[in-house]
């Protein structure tokens, strides 16, 4: 049984400017001990999606189901959710400098979390646990460093401390929201290694949010690519990297520097993600898609299975066979374009071709 | 170790400041002709001989520097001299008149902090609620009320009607804590409120703004994600961080407090340092003026040392230096 099963989750924020449709009908599952990578550009709804699960999107209209370990998280009261947050699902945030409280000692902040969930733990026990945890995440001389304030830690050490905190109560699942984005490359690699190693030791499920497919390649089992609040494509890591179907996934792959897929040409995706208040009609990616067809402009494709054997889904009108990074798949796509682009899409395609990123 | 060093340095600088303030006041006095004082003392009809006599008696005929060294010598012994007019010891005057002023300042500051921080916190955690909007209006009213207007209003609207109806707890004039907590607070309540109104409004606004900013910080999100109770998130994590800028503001405000104190003493008939100082200034009573100025300066110096200490305790990133 899946540890987490999210079904048709919708999250929107009523604001003065209009309703922000941040997440529009997303479904996915996370197996115990496995890693799901969620990838997408800034604003695609990755954070909102995961924070909603643990009740941290106040003021949002939420619909759908999110069954974690047998209970629907979206039906729980604030008090019940609080007992899950930190203890059974914990979070590692992007910027370790601003995510730790600047005025409290690192050890205190870890111990505080232990004591919030284990009323029986004494101050001393909680402190000892903090020392242990800091040691586990590779902080040297942890018995001294527990007394440090966050500003006395380097960026990498702070993120290690955040990881220590996330591990404190041996949660079943950790949500890591771009945990390495704010760190420099060597430290990034160390932190990812640490996460992988700890995950193996403790058999914790991990949701790894990132806008960098490279990070996903290192660490994920399954991958969900998000665009404008929806899953554009979903599958195993192998499917996403070698049998990708959705042009947006292809675009992401081609924009990884030094990747095999983008070997000779590094190409950013043209244009900007759409406003979540005024979404375009049809496929939300169509104003940026090099394969845009006439039907893409007016009808939004559902996420459907494109693979008879494995659970590989894509929300794109291109034919299911047109999956993969090879020349034959590209041929199929080009053929689909020839047949399917007669009217409305012609103009859109010309506009994309004329945009500076493509030229 | 660093703490002791910090204290030594700050106390030494404080002493230099006090010396500079005292000297400044001393020499400023000589910008005014000595004759004026003597005239006032000797009376309108005094002959020049009488006036000269008075001047000699006060020692004002000696060269300025000689007088200055005398003055400094006495000061080093903790002697502030004697009033030109009553011959009373300035030390005694200060000892007598300090309690009402100290009561007023301490009570006023505590009241404004409680009111300002309390309402500020409630407003921030209920942003845009009815309470928040209401308090915003009250803050605007409070900000636009000069101290003497608040004082007079309280007398007319509270003190007079209550006493007319036989409720005599609220009083003007001064009663010390030694006369019972009831009497003391009854006599001091209106002055405290007068001193606190404007500042409470300022601190409500400050606290609300600070806390709203703080509650948007990433570490508050972390606190929630840790599964802490909302109360703990707001107070232990939010208010704690919002407090540091409030404390540094307090350091500034305390220095500017004394003007309002003088006005309130006059309005409520409190026989405190402020009233004495005003009288002394009208009469050019130099020793009394210098005494008052020194007490005020010492108060500011000490308050600032305390605020800096509190600040370093509140924020570990600030080094005592
Ligand atoms: N409380 C809120 N009220 C209104 N809009 C919100 C709120 N929270 C998030 N949004 C909007 O929802 C959209 C999705 O945001 P989200 O933070 O989930 O994106 P993301 O994929 O995590 O991006 P990033 O990579 O920048 O972290 C954004 O357009 C954001 O402005
Ligand atoms: S549906 Fe059409 S516009 Fe959307 S990604 Fe597929 S081909 Fe491109
Ligand atoms: Mg995000």
Q: Is residue B204 part of a domain?
A: yes
- pLDDT(B1) > 60: no
Shortest CA gap B236–chain A (Å):
10
Fold held by A225-354: Rossmann fold (3.40.50)
Predicted confidence (pLDDT) per residue in B230-245, tens digit: 999 999 999 999 998 8
A83–B315 C-beta distance less than 8 A:
no
Supply the pLDDT for residue B171.
Answer: 86
Polymer length in residues for chain B: 321
Give yes or no for residue A318 CB within 6 A of ligand 2.
yes
Longest Cα separation, chain B: 86
Chain B residues touching A56 at Cβ < 8 A:
221, 224-225
Proportion of chain B above pLDDT 90, given as a percent: 45
Please say whether the dihedral angle defined by the alpha carbons of residues A228, A229, A235 and A241, taken in this order, is positive or negative.
positive
Expressed as residue numbers, the domain containing B208 is 98-314
Q: Does the beta-carbon distance from A116 to B228 stay under 8 Å?
A: yes
Given an 8 Å threshold on Cβ–Cβ distance, is B222 in contact with A85? no
| pLDDT reported for residue A62 | 97
Position in ligand 1 atom list of the atom nearest CA A226: 21
Predicted pLDDT at B58: 80
Chain A: residues touching B (Cβ < 8 Å): 54, 56, 78, 82-87, 90-91, 93, 95, 98-103, 105, 112-113, 116-117, 149, 151, 162, 165
| Whether B55 and B121 share a structural domain | no
Residues B66 and B172 in one domain: no
Residues B37 and B152 in one domain: no
Sheet of strand A230-236: strand arrangement? A89-92, A173-177, A205-210, A35-39, A222-227, A230-236, A313-314, A304-305
pTM, entire model:
0.87
Cβ separation of A82 and B228 shorter than 8 Å?
A: yes
Ligand 2 pocket check for A232: Cβ under 6 Å: no
Please check whether residues B112 and B55 belong to one and the same domain.
no
CB contact under 8 A, B225 and A87: no
> Would residue B5 count as lying in a domain?
no
Tell me whether residue B202 is in a domain.
Answer: yes
Reported ipTM: 0.90
Place of tokens 């404008």: A228
pLDDT for B33 equals 64
Sign of the C-alpha dihedral computed for residues B66, B71, B76 and B81 taken in this order = positive
For residues B154 and B289, state if they share a domain.
yes
Q: Are residues B246 and B194 in the same domain?
A: yes
Q: A123-136 and A155-167 are packed helices; what angle lies between their axes, rounded to 10 degrees?
A: 120
Residue of B127, B226, B314, B316 for testing the chain A interface, max A β-carbons within 10 Å: B226
A296 lines ligand 2 (CB under 6 A): yes
- Averaged pLDDT score across all residues of chain B: 89
The residue ranking higher by pLDDT, A33 or B255, is A33
B95: tokens are 């000892």
User: Could you report the average pLDDT of every consecutive run of 10 residues in chain A (359 residues)?
Assistant: 95 96 97 95 95 95 97 96 96 92 96 95 95 95 96 94 95 95 87 91 93 88 96 96 94 76 66 93 95 95 88 95 90 93 91 79
B91 within domain boundaries: no
Q: What pLDDT was estimated at residue A313?
A: 96
Task: Specify whether B163 is located in the same domain as B295.
Answer: yes
- Cα A325 to middle of ligand 3, angstroms: 28
In a domain, B198, yes or no: yes
The protein residue whose alpha carbon is closest to atom 4 in ligand 1 is: A13
Neighbours of A346 (CB within 10 A): 12
| B243 and B278 share one domain | yes
* Nearest chain A residue to B314, by CA: A103
Query: Given this model, what pLDDT does residue B52 score?
Result: 84
CB pair distance less than 8 Å for B226 and A165: yes
Read off the DSSP letter of residue A291. Answer: T
Ranges assigned E (strand) in chain B: none
Cβ of B225 within 8 Å of Cβ of A86? The answer is: yes
Residue A36 Cα to ligand 3 middle (Å): 16
Same domain, B190 and B148: yes
**Structural domains counted in chain B:** 2
Q: What is the pLDDT of residue A356?
A: 79
Q: Encoding tokens for residue A143?
A: 């018995």
A107-141: string of b/e by CB count within 10 Å (b at 16+)?
bbbbbbbbbbbeeebeeeebbbbbbbbbbbbbbee
**Atom 10 of ligand 1, residue of closest alpha carbon:** A22
Distance CA B42, CA B51 (A): 6
Per-residue pLDDT of B116-149, as tens digits, reads: 999 999 999 998 899 999 999 999 998 898 888 9
Asked whether A349 lines ligand 2 (CB < 6 A), one says no
pLDDT(B306) > 70: yes
Residue B3 lies in a domain: no
From ligand 3's centre to the CA of A47, what distance in Å? 4
CATH of the domain at B211: 1.10.3720.10
Domain residue spans in chain A?
225-354
Q: Looking at the structure, do residues B289 and B252 belong to the same domain, yes or no?
A: yes
HSE-up of A197 (CA within 13 Å, CB side)? 12
Please report the pLDDT score of residue B167 as a whole number.
Answer: 86
A98·B219 Cβ contact <8 A: yes
pLDDT per position as a tens digit, B27-76: 887 766 667 777 777 777 778 888 888 888 887 888 888 989 988 999 99
Give me the pLDDT at residue B320, please: 63
Q: What pLDDT score does B255 carry?
A: 77
Residues B38, B102: one domain? no
Contacts of A232 (CB under 8 A, 6+ apart): A40, A225, A226, A246, A248, A249, A285, A303, A314, A315, A316
How many angstroms does the Cα of residue A312 sit away from the middle of ligand 2? Answer: 17
Q: Please report whether residue B303 resides in a domain.
A: yes
Which pLDDT score is estimated for A34? Answer: 95
B222: contact with A, CB 8 A cutoff: yes
The pLDDT of residue A150 is 95
In a domain, B41, yes or no: yes
Measured CA to CA, the distance from residue B304 to residue B251 in angstroms comes to: 6
pLDDT at A30: 96
Ligand 2 pocket, A68 CB below 6 A?
no
Within 10 Å of residue B271's Cβ, how many Cβ atoms? 15
Tell me what the mean pLDDT of segment B2-18 comes to: 89
For residue B240, what is the nearest residue in chain A, using CA coordinates? A103
Same domain, yes or no, for B152 and B54? no
- Centre of ligand 1 from the C-alpha of residue A19, in Å: 12
- pLDDT class of B91 with cuts at 50, 70, 90: very high
Q: How far is the CA of B142 from the centre of ligand 2 (A)?
A: 60
Strand order across the beta sheet in which A4-15 lies: A18-30, A4-15, A61-68, A71-72
pLDDT bracket for residue B179 (50, 70, 90): confident
For residues A272 and A288, what is the distance between their CA atoms, to the nearest angstrom? 8
Phi, psi of A265 (to 5 degrees): -130, 125
Residue with tokens 């941040």: A22
């Amino acid at each position: 049984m899946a540890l987490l099963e999210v079904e048709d989750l919708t999250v929107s924020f009523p604001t003065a400017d209009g309703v922000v449709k941040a997440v529009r009908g997303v479904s996915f599952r996370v197996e115990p001990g496995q890693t799901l990578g969620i990838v997408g550009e800034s604003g695609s709804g990755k954070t909102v999606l995961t924070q909603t699960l643990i009740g941290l999107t106040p003021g949002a209209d939420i619909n759908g189901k999110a069954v974690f370990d047998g209970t629907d998280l979206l039906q729980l009261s604030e008090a019940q959710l609080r007992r899950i947050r930190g203890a059974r699902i914990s979070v590692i945030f992007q910027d370790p400098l601003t995510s730790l409280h600047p005025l409290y000692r690192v050890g205190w902040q870890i111990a505080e979390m232990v004591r919030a969930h284990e009323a029986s733990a004494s101050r001393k026990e909680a402190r000892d646990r903090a020392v242990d945890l800091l040691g586990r995440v590779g902080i040297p001389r942890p018995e001294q460093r527990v007394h440090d304030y966050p500003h006395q830690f380097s960026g990498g050490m702070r993120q290690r401390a955040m990881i220590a905190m996330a591990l404190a109560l041996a949660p079943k699942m950790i949500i890591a929201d771009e945990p390495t984005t704010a760190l420099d490359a060597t430290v990034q690699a160390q932190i990812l290694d640490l996460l992988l190693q700890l995950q193996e030791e403790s058999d914790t499920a991990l949701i790894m949010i990132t806008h960098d497919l490279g990070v996903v390649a290192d660490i994920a089992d399954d991958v969900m690519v998000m665009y404008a609040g929806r899953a554009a494509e979903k599958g195993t890591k192998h499917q996403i990297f070698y049998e990708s179907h959705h042009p947006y996934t292809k675009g992401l792959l081609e924009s990884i520097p030094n990747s095999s897929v983008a070997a000779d040409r590094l190409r950013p995706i043209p244009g900007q993600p759409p406003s979540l208040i005024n979404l375009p009609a049809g496929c939300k990616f169509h104003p940026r898609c090099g394969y845009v067809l006439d039907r893409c402009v007016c009808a939004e494709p559902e996420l459907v299975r494109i693979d008879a054997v494995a659970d590989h889904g894509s929300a794109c009108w291109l034919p299911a066979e047109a999956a993969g990074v090879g020349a034959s798949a590209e041929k199929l796509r080009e053929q689909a374009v020839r047949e399917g682009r007669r009217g409305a899409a012609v103009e859109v395609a010309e506009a994309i071709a004329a945009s500076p990123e493509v030229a | 170790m660093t703490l002791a060093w910090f204290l030594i340095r700050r106390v030494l600088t404080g002493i230099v400041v006090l010396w500079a303030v005292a000297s400044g006041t001393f020499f400023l006095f000589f910008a005014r002709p000595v004759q004026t004082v003597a005239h006032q003392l000797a009376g309108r009809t005094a002959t020049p001989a009488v006036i000269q006599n008075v001047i000699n008696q006060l020692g004002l005929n000696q060269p300025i520097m000689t007088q200055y060294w005398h003055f400094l010598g006495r000061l080093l012994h903790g002697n502030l001299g004697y009033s030109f007019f009553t011959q009373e010891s300035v030390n005694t005057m200060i000892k007598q008149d300090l309690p009402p002023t100290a009561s007023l300042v301490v009570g006023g500051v505590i009241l404004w902090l409680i009111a300002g921080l309390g309402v500020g916190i409630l407003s921030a955690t209920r942003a845009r609620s009815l309470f928040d909007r209401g308090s915003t209006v009250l803050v605007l009213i409070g900000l636009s009320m000069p101290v003497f207007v608040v004082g007079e209003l309280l007398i007319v609207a509270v003190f007079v009607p209550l006493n007319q109806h036989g409720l005599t707890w609220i009083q003007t004039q001064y009663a010390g804590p030694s006369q019972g907590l009831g009497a003391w607070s009854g006599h001091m309540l209106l002055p405290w409120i007068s001193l606190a109104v404007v500042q409470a409004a300022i601190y409500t606004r400050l606290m609300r703004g600070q806390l709203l900013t703080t509650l948007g910080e990433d570490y508050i999100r972390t606190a929630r994600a840790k599964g802490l109770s909302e109360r703990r998130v707001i107070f232990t994590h939010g208010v704690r961080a919002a407090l540091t800028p409030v404390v540094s503001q307090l350091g500034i405000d305390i220095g500017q407090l004394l003007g309002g104190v003088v006005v309130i003493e006059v309005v409520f008939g409190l026989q405190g340092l402020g009233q004495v100082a005003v009288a002394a200034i009208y009469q050019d009573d130099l020793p009394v003026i210098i005494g008052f100025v020194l007490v005020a300066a010492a108060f500011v110096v000490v308050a600032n040392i305390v605020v800096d200490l509190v600040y370093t305790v509140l924020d570990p990133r600030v080094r005592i230096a």
